[in-house]
């Protein structure tokens, strides 16, 4: 396994596009493995749209791969999503890392868009089948409860012959979904202790399904901050996490110096994970740039020396 450290954003802390590109250029030059954009269609906070970000990254970067963490398929049209991913993969010469989930029931989109949270799992399962077929088949017929296609095709196909399909979520349904169609799994609010049984469950379910997922296609996502948990900038992130999880925030966030952040990564590696999306606690542009540069200068070399 090769441990790779990517970086992600939820909120947009930049006052303009130039600030965003300064951050992207820093990551590209600094050896960051990949960039990931959180999917949120409706939010009172500034958040960039993940598919648009991937398309822009395809034109700006040359080395890094990029993905969405994770796109909520119950809010998206699968044909459009399949076409978008294939187009961006074509333009980036095979650097797209698509990741899919059902979306948090706490998201504001469900009420705002009059969508049901009760059917989001079944809608997502059908949507993923549609997407996988469109990526690989020339004439797609599909008859489902939520989607119907007749002799559909998209072209160009993705550059990657087997375009990755990373699946998010820690529920039993998410484990089954990953085992059925996933080529990888990416965690969300799970601590290392919560992650280990999920990875083990996916591996067992994949084996039962007669499929395989590469050992280094298991990932985790957590926020990082060079500082202390008691600092003022951590109050809102901790409160937000408390709404999503019953776990202790101290077991999830990577907070402290470089060694503390690397130790958090090591705990996830012990749980079976080797790919990471770490998110700088977002205050403003200057803060994110400073935190990202410290990640590049202080954490990435330690990760490389210890794990790779």
Q: 170-223 pLDDT, tens per residue?
A: 999 999 999 999 999 999 999 999 999 999 999 999 999 999 999 999 999 999
Q: Is residue 62 predicted with pLDDT exceeding 90?
A: yes
CA dist 159 and 90 (Å) reads 5
Kind plus residue range of the DSSP H or E element containing 4: strand 4-9
Return the pLDDT at 284.
94
Return the pLDDT at 263.
98
Mean pLDDT over 95-106 rounds to 95
The domain limits of the chain are 4-307
Q: Which of 113, 109, 121, 171 is nearest to 145 (CA)?
A: 121
Return the pLDDT at 161.
87
- In the chain, % helix, strand, coil (3-state, to 5) comes to 45, 20, 35
Mean pLDDT over 64-75 rounds to 96
Return the pLDDT at 181.
96
Which pLDDT band holds residue 97 (cuts at 50, 70, 90)?
very high
- CB under 8 Å to 71, separation ≥6 — which residues? 39, 50, 51, 81, 98, 99, 100, 101
Lowest-pLDDT choice from 50-54, 124-128, 199-203, 282-286: 282-286
What would the CATH number be for the domain defined by 4-307? Answer: 3.20.20.30
Return the pLDDT at 55.
98
Return the pLDDT at 102.
95
Query: Contact 227/255 with Cβ under 8 angstroms?
Result: yes
């Amino acid at each position: 396994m090769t441990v790779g450290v990517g970086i992600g954003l939820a909120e947009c802390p930049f006052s303009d596009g130039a600030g965003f590109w300064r951050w992207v250029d820093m990551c590209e030059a600094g050896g960051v493995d990949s960039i990931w954009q959180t999917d949120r269609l409706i939010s009172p906070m500034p958040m960039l749209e993940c598919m648009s970000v991937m398309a822009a990254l395809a034109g700006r970067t040359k080395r890094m791969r990029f993905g969405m963490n994770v796109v909520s398929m119950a809010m998206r049209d699968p044909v459009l999503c399949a076409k978008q991913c294939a187009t961006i993969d074509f333009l980036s010469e095979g650097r797209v890392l698509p990741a899919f989930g059902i979306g948090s029931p706490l998201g504001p989109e469900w009420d705002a868009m009059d969508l049901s949270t009760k059917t989001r799992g079944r809608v997502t399962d059908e949507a993923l089948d549609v997407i996988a077929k469109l990526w690989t088949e020339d004439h797609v017929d599909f008859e489902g409860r939520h989607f119907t296609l007749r002799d559909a095709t998209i072209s160009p196909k993705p550059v990657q012959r087997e375009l990755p399909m990373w699946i998010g979520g820690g529920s039993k349904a998410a484990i089954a979904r990953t085992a059925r169609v996933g080529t990888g799994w990416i965690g969300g609010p799970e601590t290392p202790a919560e992650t280990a049984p999920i990875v083990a469950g996916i591996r067992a379910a994949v084996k039962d399904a007669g499929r395989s997922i590469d050992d280094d296609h298991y990932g985790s996502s957590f926020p990082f901050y060079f500082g202390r948990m008691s600092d003022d900038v951590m109050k809102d992130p901790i409160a937000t996490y408390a709404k999503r999880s019953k776990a202790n925030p101290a077991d999830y966030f990577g907070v402290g110096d470089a060694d503390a952040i690397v130790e958090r990564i090591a705990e996830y590696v012990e749980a079976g994970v080797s790919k990471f999306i770490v998110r700088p606690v977002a205050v403003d542009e200057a803060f994110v740039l400073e935190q990202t540069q410290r990640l590049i200068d202080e954490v990435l070399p330690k990760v490389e020396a210890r794990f790779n």
